[in-house]
Amino acid sequence: MNESLILGFFDGVHIAHQAVVKTAVEYSPNTALITLKNFNKTCEYIMSRENSYLKLKSYGVKKIIELDFEEFAPMPAEKFIEYLSENFSPVSISTGFNYTFGRNKHGDKKLLAEYAKKYNYKYFCVDPQTYNNKIISSSLVRELLKNGEIEEANKLLASPFILEGKVIHGAELGRKLGFPTANIIYPENIIKIPYGVYKVKIGQRKGMLNWGVKPTVNNTPSPIIEVHILDFNENLYDKNIKIEVLKKIRDEKKFESLEELKLQIQKDTELCSK
């Protein structure tokens, strides 16, 4: 109760989202994010909801409240504001400039500003944030990631793009070539970056990641993530690892021989060690 509310989905918690959070936290340390669940089960996210929530809390959000989309989406916008007032008695409400809510998305920044006096809350609407003359949005970040522009996407996220999963057994070709890898399945519902080789970090260690179908050996029935952790040779099978993707090194390529592939991996490793 008497909370500073933040409204939105906040996939990835990019720097425009962070600006919205800042208005709430600066007004009151007792902050809560009101977000929706079960509204798009087929969406590819920038970040898992768990990691998004951890990131939000690192910026000062004290509580995450998930409302069911099927219950609240049909609610008239005015009723939704009434619901927030009765259940949370907000001292403030913060949103981005394009936030919509309620039946037929009738609710917007104008309605929230209009009802601020009636329900005794301060309304903060954060103006568009721009980067290279483009409005920063989750859609823009997804576009950058899909194009392999990892460094640009990470600038907007103010943190590295993350891939994580449980280490599984592979064909162990990397080990035979002198570059043992930890293999994971690409996380479900996370935006797909292009096949290729990437500079990464796993904890405090540098690494090289290959994502794709391994065309040189043609032994991968489905695409896989292989990550070679530099100066590391411990058993990670069945353990969960979190990979920070920093930069795309090159596209996936078919080589004429395993020896040619090995020479390229050596070059890739040198780039990733810098």
Place of tokens 């890898």: 181
Report if residue 151 sits inside a domain.
no
- Read off the pLDDT of residues 164-192 as tens digits, 9 standing for 90 and up: 999 998 766 656 565 788 999 999 999 99
Q: Quick one: 94 and 188 in the same domain? A: no
Whole-number pLDDT of residue 179: 76
pLDDT category of residue 222 using cuts at 50, 70 and 90? confident
For the domain that residue 199 is a member of, what is the CATH number?
2.40.30.30
pLDDT of residue 219 exceeding 90, the answer is no
Handedness of CA 43, 53, 79, 114 (dihedral sign): negative
Number of domains making up the chain: 2
Is the pLDDT reported for residue 133 higher than 60?
yes
Q: Are residues 62 and 129 in the same domain?
A: yes
Phi and psi angles of residue 208, each rounded to the nearest 5 degrees, phi first: -125, 130
| DSSP reduced 3-state for 95 | strand
Is 195 found in the same domain as 131?
Answer: no
37 and 119 share a domain?
yes
CB 115 within 8 A of CB 146: no
- The amino acid present at 102, given as its one-letter code, is G
Which domain-ending residue is among 118, 135, 152? 135
Residues 34 and 69 in one domain: yes
Q: Does the pTM of the predicted model rise above 0.75?
A: yes
Does residue 87 share a domain with residue 30?
Answer: yes
pLDDT score recorded for residue 176: 59
Same domain for 92 and 184? no
Parent domain of 55? 4-135
pLDDT in tens, 31-41: 999 998 876 66
Query: Residue 78 belongs to a domain with what CATH number?
Result: 3.40.50.620
Q: Which of 108, 79, 82 is nearest to 95 (CA)?
A: 108
Total residue length of the chain:
274
